[in-house]
Amino acid sequence: MEIIYHGHSCIQIVTEGKSLLFDPFLKGNPLAVTQPEDIKTDYILLTHAHTDHILDAEPIAKANDATIVATFELAMYMSRKQLKTIDMNIGGTVDLGFAKAKMIQAFHSSGIFLEEGQIIYGGMPAGFIVQVEGLTLLHAGDTALFSDMKMIGDRHPIDIAFLPIGDHYTMGPDDALQAAEWFGAKLVIPVHYNSFPAIRQDSDDFVRRLESQGQRGRVLAPGEKLEITAASLKKLVARDGK
């Protein structure tokens, strides 16, 4: 399995000739090195309706004939653009064939900003737990720290967690460290930072602090790829006795 970090909260998972993409925000991200027209994917999973998570969903979906997976309200909005969608809601699971995706809660807000200046309701914010290639991945979406993260970690053995660390709009590094512990993630990859001045963070310091609490972290630069399997993750986590 290949994990590609496209910057901000945009993660791509490529496995067995199939691909899913979280929260495409490329043209609006000054740190992105990939353009929407470069993306090849089968599914686009949207955690919520803010511009920095859905900006490039429409062009990528149209170019790839890809299906958008999102909360009911956001999926209905996307379907009005003549896009293929799967609507779901928090607690539900969809079978994508090569992967299963369960929608979990996140504490944030969610609204669609229209060109006329209006803001319309975009449904509840969410995260996803994805089971693929024998691994369990968690994309937390934009969220604050909340105690049910521990329950989610107790019920789902998380192998890799993508956690926001930017602060200001989401939890910052201190709360993300607690979230990582509660989720019990074997490997944590920080996201949602450095794209704007308000969310500047030292991701390397975050990873050092993760390792001081007995968890492994990995910083990925925009465009960087990580090849990983259940076996290679086990070796990674076992390194240095962690």
Of the chain, the percentage scoring pLDDT greater than 70 comes to: 98
Q: What's the average model confidence in pLDDT over 130-141?
A: 98
Of 91-100, 222-231, 232-241, least confident by mean pLDDT is 232-241
Q: What digits encode the pLDDT tens for the residues 11-51? A: 999 999 999 999 999 999 999 999 999 999 999 999 999 99
Residue 115 has pLDDT above 90, yes or no: no
0.85 exceeded by the pTM?
yes
Q: What digits encode the pLDDT tens for the residues 214-231? A: 999 999 999 999 999 999
Planar angle of CA 87, 91, 92, nearest 5 degrees: 40
Write down the pLDDT at residue 242. Answer: 47
Query: DSSP secondary structure string, the chain?
Result: -EEEE-STT-EEEEETTEEEEES---TT-TT----GGG---SEEE-S---HHHHTTHHHHHHHHTPEEEEEHHHHHHHHTTT-EEEEE-TT-EEE-SS-EEEEEE--S--EEE-TTS-EEE----EEEEEEETTEEEEE--S----THHHHHHHHS--SEEEEE---SSS--HHHHHHHHHHHT-SEEEEES-SSSGGG---HHHHHHHHHHTT-EE----TT-EEE--HHHHHHHHHGGG-
| pLDDT class of 237 with cuts at 50, 70, 90 | confident
Write down the pLDDT at residue 239. Answer: 66
Q: What's the average model confidence in pLDDT over 156-164?
A: 98
* Domains within the chain, CATH numbers bracketed: 2-234 (3.60.15.10)
